[in-house]
Amino acid sequence: MTMIVAMCRTFRDRALDRCFHCFPCLSDPAWRSSLGLKVALVMLHLIYAGILFLFDSDLIEKTKKEPWYTALYLLLFFATLVQYFITSGSSPGYVLDAMRAVNETNVMYKKSSTASKQPASSKNGSLIVTIEGSQTGRNFQGSNPASWTKLVMDMYPPGTSIRAFSCFYCNVEQPPRAKHCHDCDKCVLQFDHHCVWLGTCIGQGNHCKFWWYICEETALCLWTGILYITYLKANISRAWWKDAIMILLLIAMAISIIFLLLLLLFHSYLVLTNQTTYELVRRRRIPYLSIYHLESLPSAQELEEKSRPYTCLDVLTCRCC
């Protein structure tokens, strides 16, 4: 018996090694977990829609009479899945990518400035004209990281230490509203949260896509719930095992609808108020949100002017107000 178990384990390990050799991405546990969640979500959608069309004969008859109704439902179904994969595959906007883009722009600007300063001769070769490059734009030092540092430091109040906004994990300077995600192991611009179901962070680059996905998913669940309730009203006593399956699925869907509606309202509020989940939850711990600008004390001359009694002219000029 022990020999059989050992042989099974050896066969399993060899099969996994071959699979990892053919698909190197599967060797990453985080990537496997994300892929498993994606497959589970797609299967969940297919189960809900498949059981509905399998059990509800009235819906099939309605489809034959009014095909546009089912066509709209299927269009929303596939649009939701497409939006899900678009959102999960989109970049939230990483700080390293932004820094790389700034440095590449600085290199191109430096090359163009150097080329524009080269002497250009006229057609007869007797006159040399020097063309000075344009001095507009920011003066960065090529691909030197100091250019990114200067750009980030300009976003903070004067006198802020560089250590206050440097990431200890990525060793980069974080602009305001950026945060390091420990799941992605990267700093994300305008970090909102890390979505487990999508397998990616939600940030500046994909928050809009995420909102549209929630909106489409909520609409799809509401429509599917209405179809389930319509079926149960018309066929509640025909087959008890079908009713039991539909009721269990409907209860799970009702919980999902409540969660999705609350999530949609919450992120709609965040979008309208220009906030993120991280900023709303950790407002008191975020340095750039806890800085209060205190008014300066009035001078002696201002105090003297405010202390003298009001005259009729002051009342007419509204100085007393």
Instruction: Residue 161: name the closest of 151, 170, 153, 172 by CA.
Output: 153
Q: Give me the pLDDT at residue 303, please.
A: 64
Burial class (CB within 10 angstroms; exposed 0-12, middle 13-18, buried 19+) of 5: exposed
Task: Mark whether 222 and 87 lie in a shared domain.
Answer: yes
Best CA proximity match to 173, nearest among 165, 181, 183: 165
- Which residue matches tokens 């996905």? 213
Residue 162: exposed, middle, or buried by beta-carbon count in 10 A (0-12, 13-18, 19+)? exposed
Q: Are residues 177 and 206 in the same domain?
A: no
Does residue 300 sit within a domain? no
Reported confidence tier of residue 18, pLDDT bands at 50, 70, 90: low
pLDDT of 289 strictly over 90: no
Indicate which residue of 19, 181, 184, 195 is catalytic. 195
Looking at the structure, do residues 160 and 246 belong to the same domain, yes or no? Answer: no
Average pLDDT over residues 99-113: 80
41, 195 in Cβ contact below 8 A? no
Decide if 302 is inside a domain. no
Amino acid at 51: I
Residues 210 and 239 both lie in one domain: yes
Structure tokens at 221: 């669940």
Q: What are phi and psi of 55, to 5 degrees?
A: -90, -35
241: amino acid identity, one letter: W
The answer as to whether 296 is a domain residue is no
Q: Has residue 45 been placed in a domain?
A: yes
Same domain, 176 and 103: yes
Number of compact structural domains in the chain: 2
Sequence-distant (6+) residues with CB within 8 A of 110 are 142
Checking if the pLDDT of 46 tops 80, the result is yes
99 and 81 within one domain: no
Let me know whether 164 and 45 are in one domain: no
Together in a domain, 42 and 181:
no
Domain final residue, candidates 165, 188, 211: 188
pLDDT of residue 227: 93
Q: What percent of the chain has pLDDT over 70?
A: 70
Measured CA to CA, the distance from residue 265 to residue 215 in angstroms comes to 10
124 is a domain residue: no
> Residue 90: what are its φ and ψ, rounded to 5°?
-85, 155
Q: Name the token pair of 21.
A: 């050799």
Structure tokens at 235: 């066929």
Whether residue 38 contacts residue 88, with contact meaning beta carbons closer than 8 Å, is answered with yes
Identify the domain boundary among 130, 161, 188. 188
- Please state, in angstroms and rounded to a whole number, the distance separating the CA atoms of residues 73 and 228: 13
Q: Is residue 5 part of a domain?
A: no
Summarize the confidence of residues 137-159 as an average pLDDT: 64
Query: Which candidate, 87, 84, 72, places its Cα nearest to that of 223?
Result: 72
Residues 176 and 51 reside in one and the same domain:
no
**pLDDT above 70 (res 14):** no
pLDDT higher at 313 or 253: 253
321 pLDDT more than 60: no
Domain annotation covers residue 204? yes
Beta bridge partners of 188: 94, 179
Confidence of residue 298 (pLDDT cuts 50, 70, 90): low
Give per-residue pLDDT as tens, 226-251. Answer: 999 999 888 877 778 888 999 999 99
User: How far apart are alpha carbons 26 and 24 in whole angstroms?
Assistant: 5
pLDDT recorded at residue 94: 93
Same domain, 175 and 247: no
Q: Report yes or no on 160 lying in a domain.
A: yes
Whether residue 82 is found in the same domain as residue 59: yes
- 184: domain range? 94-107+152-188
Quote the tokens at residue 248.
């269990």
Point out which residues pair with 187 in neighbouring strands. Answer: 180
Tokens representing 304 are 């003297």
> Which of 166, 188, 210 delimits the end of a domain?
188
Q: Is the same domain home to 84 and 202?
A: yes
Q: What is the pLDDT of residue 299?
A: 63
Q: Respond yes or no: is residue 195 known to be catalytic.
A: yes
